[in-house]
Amino acid sequence: MKSNQNFDDIIFENRNKEYGAYFLRKNYSNYLTKAMVIGSSIFILLFGGAFTYNKYVLDKNSNKDINHGTIKLIPPPPEKPIVIPEITPPPPIKEIDIPKATITFLPPEPVIDNLDIIETPPPTKDEIEGKVISNKTNEGIESNGAFTTPPKVPEIVEIIKVDNPEDNKIFISVEQKPEFPNGTKAMYEFLSKNIHYPKSAVNAGVTGKVFVKFVVEKDGSIADVQITKGIGFGCDEEAIRVIQSMPKWRPGRQNGKEVRVYFNMPITYKLD
């Protein structure tokens, strides 16, 4: 081993010294020294600059008159005094003149003395016979009895008919249900002959059931036709039209009387 060899030369004695690791290890101490010098210089400059700025610049500015700066404080505008409006007292309530209770008192009328009083003598028995006693004398038909009363005039009594709310009641279930003429089979035959499949429903391929609700009146006529569930495309309107064109039904009966009854009917639309 040579006397002037260092630790790096011993490690890289039989190796390629052109490799970068040998160069870095050999110059490591130089680079470290340069970095310490540069870092210390930067720290001293920063610390010295900050100290100098605080010591000389800020203290100098703080001693200046604050009014010579660029910031001006604008005083706030004076507040307007709040004016409380005067409350005008309401006018005094006037006393209402209440009429006092009075009573009529008429002075007594004097009676004139020495006046002749004319007395009417009572009728005789013959004059009373066949007549009715009254405060007036009238010529009329004499009766057989002495004290008969005139015949009573018959009173005219006006009879006002009051509508019974039960007469217009619509029943849901009755003893005898309303029925299409000639039965249910005839009803479906009527529907199949008169109902028309709307073209819009045929083109769209719409099928299904339309549920119709209507009222069978006391005379068997159809009223208040409504769609409770429809399928659209003109099928609902066609179902209403056919129901309204039906002949009169046999009305429903409750307690032996014709009554108004709700009736629900499904109408099926089906493509062949």
The confidence score (pLDDT) of residue 115 equals 44
Domain boundary among 15, 38, 65: 65
Nearest in space to 247 (alpha carbons), one of 208, 191, 203, 199: 191
Q: What are 138-145's contacts with CB under 8 Å, separation 24+?
A: none
Number of domains in the chain: 2
The confidence score (pLDDT) of residue 176 equals 94
The confidence score (pLDDT) of residue 87 equals 79
Nearest in space to 225 (alpha carbons), one of 201, 209, 242, 208: 242
Range of the domain at 226: 168-269
Quick check: is 173 in a domain?
yes
Rounded to whole angstroms, how far apart are CA atoms 168 and 215?
12
Q: pLDDT tens digits, residue range 35-46?
A: 899 988 998 988
Quick check: is 156 in a domain?
no
The confidence score (pLDDT) of residue 16 equals 63
Quick check: is 123 in a domain?
no
Q: What are 235-240's contacts with CB under 8 Å, separation 24+?
A: 235/197, 235/198, 235/201, 235/206, 235/208, 235/210, 235/269, 236/210, 238/195, 238/196, 238/197, 238/198, 239/195, 239/210, 239/212, 239/267, 240/212
Quick check: is 27 in a domain?
yes
Question: Residue 224's domain is classified under what CATH number?
Answer: 3.30.2420
Q: Which residues of the chain have pLDDT under 50?
A: 65-66, 104-106, 111-118, 146-148, 157, 160, 162
Quick check: is 9 in a domain?
yes
Rounded to whole angstroms, how far apart are CA atoms 176 and 101?
73
Contact (CB, 8 A) for 207 and 178: no
Domain boundary among 45, 65, 85: 65
Domain boundary among 65, 96, 117: 65
What pTM does this model have? 0.41
Q: pLDDT tens digits, residue range 188-237?
A: 999 999 999 999 999 999 999 999 999 999 999 999 999 999 999 999 99
Quick check: is 264 in a domain?
yes
Quick check: is 81 in a domain?
no
